[in-house]
Structure 1
């Protein structure tokens, strides 16, 4: 992805935010308890003082309250200020929300380095918005491979709007770029996991996952000639920022939670390895690719293709393989033949 030097400097500055943690005050937990009961005014009252004193959890929760209009009158500018204060102390979810809200307010150049940092940790909303900007090329250099990879990750995280946008992108992004994006998506996913673990280790705050998106990115109609696709609209409403006071109650989780119980080991035989060869908005395209690969590489004909549907996205996978090494070997052969390939658990 090619960014201007000023964006690169901003991204570095965003990633350099301090990770020093401030101890959580007892009033913050009392506020969480009040919020869980639906007593939002009491929650805000509990959080205000520790927030003013610099507690990042309280600051983040004040931002949530002002964004949703619970316990206080909705004011996105005040919410943005609280998110910024918490993010400056390394509160990761506050940083995510800060980037989302900047984008929502149309301050895209300011939002981009924050969205990049959040996307690098695997935040689906940031991946979704960044992918949109990379596809448009309005505020950042166009990069359809990275845009498709990020949109694929957001779709895999369960964001229906991302799946819908991805199916539309299939009509404009060439097959070779989509295949390259499949490989890149695997690399980005692994990098995000490492980044999230490293940064969470430095600032272990337990916060709730991002809210599900309420709006979707619009994409050009399929009737437009693909030779010169216009991309997504320049002004795209951010997801997860309701225009009015939401009806549903979404508690703000900041109190430390007990460590999750370790997952039981899965027998190797129950989870064979597979290879993924692409992700497509149309099932027919996945089947067409498989038909073109048969007989192309030694051993490919012995594999069983599967077409996994996720929303409106179809992932072409093949296998199974008894070991990761065997899957890696087949991927190596396919890559040598010019076919993108990614090893995934079965």
Structure 2
């Protein structure tokens, strides 16, 4: 009987040992599986690591849930894992979560994460957060800080940031720009470099959100994702059949010249997501916003934005009171 018990104990230990490798597997092995096209295996490796708080694994799980690769698409789960990584200072998670929340209408939540990512020097986050500061869009107006953040984003080589900086150069007085340049220099000198991940633990090369937020009152287009993260885009959802009336529109940009807003509509009006829609040129201080609609519901406006964003046009839904 004792021998039998001893044998059973050994068998139990062997079973435990056989299951151990899944817990010992690393983020690097998950990346290898992902790059080989085995998304299910990659997710099975990352999930236990992410649930134990590994920032890189959590970021990768967020991307998997956002894209629906290896797991069903699930925004709530993507947000959960991005928050785990973001709370540990993962700058890509902070930026991606901020952009996703921005696109889904949660400006307060979005700007919290984009501010954190901006403080770490992410160019996309600095562009969107800086533009929000310039416009007072969800945060108090602070043109000095706005110019500082956008200048730093432009200095990184981000094209839309360079265009936004040019527009700010035209609109802002020299005294504000001088203060902004000084602030940008102080931010750059005192901010630590963004957390560096070893090459082996770098996140898989999967794209940033297909729908990107366009700052509400700026002439800037939404930030482009870094080329290094390019990957096949997920199929854009078809917009639902739209109604001829409704309280929702999609905003495609804001321009210092009304003719520029009209010109953009002429370029995009043939897009299938805007079939049967008309333009609305809305004056807002020194800029003109281009809005297109109407849409009967938030869901229809979001679907149209997803389709437009997949083709490279910045877009976000707005409700007209």
Q: How does 1:308-323 map to 2 (within 5 A)?
A: none
Q: Secondary structure at the match of 2:153?
A: helix
Q: Secondary structure at the match of 1:74?
A: coil
Hey, what does 2:262 align to over in structure 1? none
Q: Give TM-score scaled by structure 1 length.
A: 0.51
Q: Does 1:221 align with 2:278?
A: no
Task: Give ranges in structure 1 of 5+ residues lacking alignment.
Answer: 1-23, 235-241, 248-346
8 Å CA contact 2:91, 2:122 repeated in 1: no
96-105 vs 31-40, which deviates more? Answer: 96-105
Post-superposition CA distance 1:86-133 (Å, at most 9, x none): 333444433333333322322121232322222111111110111111
Q: How does 1:21-100 map to 2 (within 5 A)?
A: 25-100=24-99
Q: Give TM-score scaled by structure 2 length.
A: 0.55
How far did residue 233 of structure 1 move?
A: 8.3
Q: How does 1:1-346 map to 2 (within 5 A)?
A: 25-192=24-191, 194=192, 196=193, 200=195, 207-208=202-203, 216-217=221-222, 218-223=253-258, 228-230=285-287, 243=306
Q: Secondary structure at the match of 1:166?
A: helix
8 Å CA contact 1:168, 1:220 repeated in 2: no
Give the whole-Å Cα distance in 2 for the aligned partners of 1:136 and 1:169: 11
8 Å CA contact 2:255, 2:287 repeated in 1: yes
Q: Secondary structure at the match of 1:98?
A: helix
| Count of aligned positions | 210
User: Relative to 1, partners in 2 of residues 1:25 and 1:163: Cα closer, same or farther, differing over 3 Å?
Assistant: farther
Higher Rg: 2
Task: Give ranges in structure 2 of 5+ residues lacking alignment.
Answer: 1-22, 213-220, 223-252, 260-282, 292-304, 311-321
8 Å CA contact 2:33, 2:41 repeated in 1: yes
8 Å CA contact 2:62, 2:81 repeated in 1: yes
Give the whole-Å Cα distance in 1 for the aligned partners of 2:182 and 2:289: 24
8 Å CA contact 1:25, 1:55 repeated in 2: no
8 Å CA contact 1:47, 1:61 repeated in 2: yes
Post-superposition CA distance 1:141-198 (Å, at most 9, x none): 1112221221111111121111122222233222332232222221222223x3x36x
8 Å CA contact 2:256, 2:288 repeated in 1: no
Whose RCO is larger (CA < 8 A, sep 6+)?
1
